[in-house]
Amino acid sequence: MGDNFSFFQNSLYKSWFDHIKSGQIAHAQLIVSKNGGLAWLAVLEYIKRVMCDQPNPNGGACGFCDACVQSSLFSHPDVHFAFPISGGDGEGASSKTSDQYLPEFRTYLKTNPFPMFKNWISSISAQKKVLQIGVKESSAVLNKLSLKSHSGKYKILVLWLPEKLSSAAANKLLKTIEEPNEKTVLLLITHDLSGVLPTIISRCLVFSIPPLGGKQVERWLNKERNVAPDTARVLSKMSCGDPGLALDYLENRENLKVFAEAFVSSMKISFKKDFQGLHLWVEELGSWGRGQTQEYFTFSSTVISEIAKYKSMGSGEVIFDWFPEISFKTEGFSKLLKYSYLPMFMSVFDEGKIDIGRNLNPKIVLFDAGIRMMEIF
């Protein structure tokens, strides 16, 4: 998990890491970051600094001791992981926990410096399944944290996506989050703070990791990943400073093209108030998995944001500049959309993404979005 950024040197991260040097480590921390953002790189650096056997004078990890190497490989015996897997808490629920998926998860983290939930879903071929962190996982976590530390130092739990905790699982963890065992640290990584239970948030130190910013991502893509300047510029804008999303767009251009085509179709259908076309559109997109549908809403919201900037400046790139094969005139479309329409479209797409996250039927969510878009026009 390379891609070390100099951002660890800025004051925001320095104050967070200084807690380790001073010995004032918060026992429960909620790290907020965009999906595909910098959270995992920051958490990995934090773990290495906590577990390092030979820290340097300024508190940084040496990077060479056994603890640092094990941490980098996600195999330190005192660092545990919990993450969403296929299953549930109802009758007939799977007895599996994260431990059964740990080899795949380690491989995924090693090859993806900016993990994205949808890509994790794809890596375990669970596109059509609902992934969550169930009560069996909570029981397994509590058992691990009750054991003695192998190294005599801290025991650390990294829980990825507390917003995916079932109610029973969350309730089972609350006491431990509030009053963990001595020298136990819980690091919870969320990409959707609104989806995390208030009772969990109130028990944690919240640390928000801002996106890198478009210019930084553009330079990084150009210099570190050898992406052509024009492509890097479009990707950095579309990703809104999210390096993981930029890489995902780069590596999956054809998937992104599908979203672009679906977006253009939805706008034409809505403008014409073509109800038959809407039914066909919903049926076509209804074959997508939940993750893909959520990503479509994110894509659509981003396009509207870019159109708003285009209208303000009268020029600039939008994602469709990357797809000359799609018949889409940015200038004409921006004239069609009044300024008053833009926040309404943003609301449709943002709420659609939230509804999919709540496990509502994708076809119903897509149809509702289409009807609301017609009403805007």
| Minimum mean pLDDT range among 73-77, 158-162, 213-217 | 213-217
Q: What pLDDT is stored for residue 308 in this prediction?
A: 81
Which residues are registered as beta bridge partners of 157?
80, 186
Q: What pLDDT is stored for residue 318 in this prediction?
A: 63
The arithmetic mean of pLDDT across residues 271-297, rounded, is 90
Position 1 confidence tier, pLDDT thresholds 50, 70, 90? very low
Q: Who's near 192: CB < 8 A, 6+ residues apart?
A: 35, 163, 357
Going by C-alpha positions, the residue among 102, 41, 113 that lies closest to residue 75 is 102
Going by C-alpha positions, the residue among 144, 223, 173, 211 that lies closest to residue 28 is 173
The arithmetic mean of pLDDT across residues 70-82, rounded, is 95
> pTM of this prediction?
0.79
In the predicted model, is pLDDT for residue 5 greater than 70? no
The arithmetic mean of pLDDT across residues 349-361, rounded, is 88
Position 89 confidence tier, pLDDT thresholds 50, 70, 90? low
Q: What pLDDT is stored for residue 224 in this prediction?
A: 82
CATH 1.20.272 matches 252-376: yes
The arithmetic mean of pLDDT across residues 205-215, rounded, is 83
In the predicted model, is pLDDT for residue 92 greater than 80? no
The arithmetic mean of pLDDT across residues 310-318, rounded, is 67
What are the pLDDT digits (tens) for 221-247? 888 888 888 888 888 877 777 888 888
What is 117-183 written as a DSSP string? HHHHHHHTT-TTS-EEB-HHHHHHHHHHHHSPPSSSS-EEEEEE-GGGB-HHHHHHHHHHHHSPPTT
Q: What pLDDT is stored for residue 330 in this prediction?
A: 67
Domain extents for the chain? 6-208, 252-376
What share of the chain in percent tops pLDDT 90? Answer: 41
State how far the Cα of 147 lies from the Cα of 181, in Å rounded to an integer: 10
The listed CATH number (3.20.20.60, 1.10.10.10, 3.40.50.920, 3.40.50.300) that belongs to domain 6-208: 3.40.50.300
Q: Hey, how many other C-beta atoms are within 10 angstroms of the C-beta on 52?
A: 22
Element (H, E) at 229: helix 229-239
Q: What is the largest CA-CA distance in the chain?
A: 68
